[in-house]
Amino acid sequence: METKKVTFTVTPNDQVKAYWIAVGNDDIPLVNGKGSINLQAPQRHFLIWWFVGNSGSSLNITGESGIDTLVEVKNSTIPQGEHEGAGVKRFQL
Amino acid sequence: MQKIILPVIACILLLINNGGFAEEVGSPMSVKATRSTAQDNPVQSPQVNSPQPFAGSTPLLYSELFLSGIGNSVVGTAIETTGTAFEINAMKDSSSALLRIGRDFSFSSEEGLAEFSTWSITAAAPINKKDDFTALATWDGLANSFRLTLRASNFVVAGKRNPFSADPQELPRRLSELCALAGIDVDKGDQCDTGKV
């Protein structure tokens, strides 16, 4: 098995106050919404995200390896009446 | 050269910011970078110190899988900027030139404890409407009515739960069932989140 560097970019909207992401149980530190991790390939992985903000807040996430987009999270939203959101998405590397 | 004009400062900050993302807008006096998101409304935090942060009608079980009480522990001031990387805003029709640089950091320091911190520095000075450039500073000192604002915040939450902590390669059964009930097949690569479950 080889490893590939995957770079994640989180794009929150104005109402998101804080956010965190992980792949499997590995937390990914982010600076200005960007962070990288080395992942084993070929293998499937799970992207997990958490965020805090006002109801209706949303964010997008992309995970890229080189020029390939491996995973995209589109418009993940905090439900009405809530202040926290989370989600999961599988991707193949 | 007596005056430090905005384009020069813009170039310097772009270098400092290391990968900043500037975008030209409008007239020569107008340079604005994206991803600057000043918050007018501080986060509503009724969940702070709330014994039941997920007592609403929304996906209680799903939230429990990921979040065992985010918001129970919030330290620091309300976050007023997120995602701020770099901004210069100086339009002729506005009254002041604004220059901002900042960073945000997201990390988990230990199991269940997550931090999100931001800082930003903002400099502002009145626009010189008689000339095509505005000086924030000269070798003789800062411009009249110059304002410098430093802002930092630290947002700490306890209770962030990773449902993959047992096996990072396998979708936990309970999570899989909840997503399936919502008609989402995570194994096919569909997105499953609190907004959909």
Beta bridge pairs of residue B148 = B123
- The reply to whether residue A46 touches residue B57, judged by beta carbons under 8 angstroms, is no
Is this model's pTM higher than 0.90 or not? no
The domain of B145 spans 3-162
A63 shares contact with chain B (CB less than 8 Å): no
A41 shares contact with chain B (CB less than 8 Å): no
Beta bridge pairs of residue A84 = A52
For position A49, what pLDDT does the model report?
93
CA distance A64 to chain B (A): 16
Per-residue CA distances from B90 to A10, B29, B144 (Å): 28, 6, 16
Longest alpha-carbon distance in chain A: 45
In the Cβ-directed half-sphere of A28, how many Cα atoms lie within 13 Å?
Answer: 29
DSSP characters over A54-80: STT-EEEEEEEETTEEEEEEEEEEPPT
Q: φ, ψ for residue A25 (rounded to 5)?
A: -105, 15
Give the mean pLDDT of chain A.
92
For position A69, what pLDDT does the model report?
94
Together in a domain, B78 and B130: yes
Determine the 3-state secondary structure of B64 from DSSP: helix
Q: Which residues of B132-153 are buried (b: 16+ CB within 10 A; e: fewer)?
A: ebbbbeeeeeebeeeeeeebeb
Number of domains into which chain A is organized? 1
Together in a domain, B139 and B197: no
For position B197, what pLDDT does the model report?
81
The domain of A18 spans 2-92
Per-residue CA distances from A29 to A1, A22, A77, B43, B121 (Å): 24, 9, 21, 23, 22
**Could you read off the pLDDT of A54-92 as tens digits, one per residue?**
899 999 999 999 999 999 999 999 988 888 889 999 999
Tens-digit pLDDT string for chain B (197 aa): 434 444 444 444 444 443 332 222 222 222 222 222 333 333 433 333 333 333 333 444 666 667 654 444 333 333 343 444 555 665 555 666 777 888 899 998 766 688 899 888 888 777 666 666 666 666 666 666 778 888 888 888 887 788 887 788 888 888 888 888 889 988 888 999 888 88
Determine the 3-state secondary structure of B65 from DSSP: helix
A39 closest CA partner among B66, B168, B165, B191: B168
List the CATH number of the domain containing A38: 2.60.60
The neighbour count for residue A64, using CB atoms within 10 Å, is: 16
In the Cβ-directed half-sphere of B68, how many Cα atoms lie within 13 Å?
Answer: 10
CA distance B57 to chain A (A): 8
B79 shares contact with chain A (CB less than 8 Å): yes
B77 shares contact with chain A (CB less than 8 Å): no
Together in a domain, B60 and B155: yes
Together in a domain, B150 and B195: no
